[in-house]
Each structure stands twice: as C-alpha cells, then as structure tokens.
Amino acid sequence: MMPRSLCVIGLGLIGGSLLRAADAAGWTVWGTSRPPEDADLAAAAGFQVHDDIEKALRLTEQTDALVVLAVPMPAVEDVLADVHRFAPGCRLTDVVGVKQPVLDAVARRAPGVRYAGGHPMAGAAVSGWAAGSAGLFRDAAWVLICDDDTDREVWLQVAGLALECGAHILPASADEHDEAAARISHLPHVLAAVLAAVGADGGPLALGMAAGSFRDGTRVAGARPDLVAAMCEGNRDALLGAVDDALGRLGAARGSLASTGALASTLRAGHAGREALVAATAATAAAPGGTMTVDLAKPNAMERLREFGRLGGVIRAIDGTRCEVSL
C-alpha cells in the first residue's frame, strides 16, 4: 500500500481544489501557499496550512507523502529548489499547464525526486482558492505523462489520485501534451484576447449588441492576464506553431472573402472540427468500444500507453499495475 498523504504547494484554483478533493477521498492532506489570501481561506476552511514551504516539505519527508506542484510556471524553478533542499528524494507530481519545461526544470533543480508529471484539464476563467471545489475534476481529463523515464510507482499513485478525484486519464508524452495544449488551451486564450480587443474597439454600440457568440468567444479573456501569460509563455515553441496555423487559416479566410466573397471552406473546416470535438466527447462519455490492458510492470508499457493516447485512449480503472485503456 502506498501512503495516502498529500502535500499541495500552491492553493489556487487547481491546488486548492485538489486539496479538497483528496481530503474528501480520505487522504491526509496539507498545503502551503505564497499568496496569503489563499492560505488564509484554506486554513479558515479547516485545512492544515503551513506558513512556510520548509515545514510543509519536511513533513513530507517524514511520511513519504506525494508532493504536488500547483504553482504557475514562472514559480516552478524556485519551488523545485526548495523541494531539493527540504525533501530531495520525495515523490513528486505537478498540475502545471506545460510539461516539457517542467520536466527539464525537475531534472535541473531537483534531480533526486521521483517524478511523474500531470495536467488536469479544468478551470480557466477564474482563479484562487475561493473559485475551487472538491468536484472540479469530476469527469475532467487529466493528462499523465508517459515518458520512458517516468517514475512508474509515482505514476500509479498519481493515476489513482486522479481517478479518486473523478477524472479520467489521458496518457501522452510531454511533447505531445505541449503540442496539443497549445492548440486546445493556449491558442483559445490568445484568440479570445484578440476577439475581445477588436470587439471593444467597436465602442458601446458594439458591446451593447454582443450576444452569445461574442460572450462565449471572449469568456476566457476574463481570466487574470498574468496567469494566462505565464501559462502561454511557458509553452512558447508549441504555441508559436499553433498561432502560425491560426494566422494561416485566418489569412486564407481573408483572401477568400476579399477575392471571391466566400467563407464556405473556412466555415466548413471549422464545423468539421467542432463535430469531431462533439463526437470525441460523446465517445468518452459512452461505454467503451473496446478495452485494452497495459501492465506497468512490463518494459514497453509507457510506449504502449502513449500509442493508445494518440488514438484517443482513456484510462478509467487501474488494478495493481494493470491499467485498463478504453478506446
């Protein structure tokens, strides 16, 4: 039995929700937070909160707890330096929105930890402890990184935690995660910002006319720009590729509208993309068409998980070292 103790560093929307969800699932949990308002709110809600990160991490060493990095990307290096000082051999995961840069930072700053990275796909337009809840991860996707050198014992523990929080697991390599996240998480924030600015340039009449299409398309522009910038800038290389794809498609739409007056091919491609999203969502919600088992005790397990992840495979159950992948 692995210890069911959890130390959450960072008590914002994701970290704060994870503290609550793990507590509700019966884990022993404690946390620490640099922003004092999140720490105060968590303590007021009855949780064990430590003022300084050293105390929180030393407690981890004593209990072999799992440590969760739940801070924005720009704070990751400093926190990892603390991890290396106060809990150099701990079990570690994270919930940061980019994975290869965190993997690199872990190797550089805390080379002794046993690490398996993750990224729960939840929350965007709000932030802080107050916006979180124990149910945030219910029916959400939680990406778990399956690189060949990922620590398998920690991976299994984080996977169990994710399932206990009500999420399902998507297996992927760090690079694959970052490329996909640029397309479906970081580009949406950039386009929402562009749309909000162009709309507001239309003045009070335009804003008064704004209905569902503008409201939906700009919702995430309401998120704190510094947090969004940290998230997007941390995935710079992959995001540049996604922005270039968007510029190419938008430029083609512009050219077609100006020359022939037609937007049909742009709109048909978009409609097909949206239908693919709806179909993927329905497939995830439905009973699986087939189930494969991948045993993490086997040498090629991580490679097989990545292959299934590329095909849309989802893990909903784990028995010992055996992961059931639904396709």
Is residue 184 a contact point for a second copy (CB under 8 A)?
Answer: yes
**Size, binding site for a second copy by CB under 8 A:** 103
Site string for a second copy, 110-129 (x = CB under 8 A): -----------xxxxx----
> Helices 301-310 and 174-181 sit at what angle, rounded to 10 degrees?
20
State in angstroms the smallest separation of the CB of 150 from a second copy.
17
The β-bridge relationship of strands 141-145 and 168-172 is: parallel
- Residue 196 binds a second copy, judged by CB under 8 A: yes
Report if residue 12 touches a second copy, rule: CB under 8 A: no
Q: Is 309 among the residues that bind a second copy (CB under 8 A)?
A: yes
Asked if 284 is part of the footprint of a second copy (rule: CB under 8 A), the reply reads yes
Does position 312 bind a second copy by CB under 8 A? yes
User: Of these, 172, 294, 323, 325, which contacts a second copy (CB under 8 A)?
Assistant: 172
Which residue stretch of 8-16, 87-95, 158-166, 270-278 sits at the interface with a second copy (rule: CB under 8 A)? 270-278
Member of 13, 242, 301, 302 binding a second copy (CB under 8 A): 242
Per-residue CA distances from 75 to 85, 92, 155, 241, 261 (Å): 16, 16, 23, 25, 48
Considering the rule CB under 8 A, would residue 133 count as an interface residue with a second copy?
no
In terms of CB distance, is 281 or 291 closer to a second copy? Answer: 281
Residues 6+ away with beta carbon under 8 Å from 176: 306, 309, 310
Q: Which is nearer to a second copy, 261 or 290 (CB)?
A: 261
SS3 295: strand
Instruction: Check residue 200 for interaction with a second copy (CB under 8 A).
Output: yes
Owner of token pair 């950039």: 190
Task: Tell me the closest approach of the beta carbon of residue 243 to a second copy, in angstroms.
Answer: 5
194 in contact with a second copy (CB under 8 A) = yes
207: buried, middle or exposed (CB in 10 Å: 19+, 13-18, 0-12)? exposed
CB of 72 to a second copy, least distance (A): 14
In the block, residue with structure tokens 């048909």: 268
Calculate the alpha carbon distances from 172 to 48, 133, 150, 178 in Å: 33, 26, 11, 10
Place of tokens 């491609």: 269
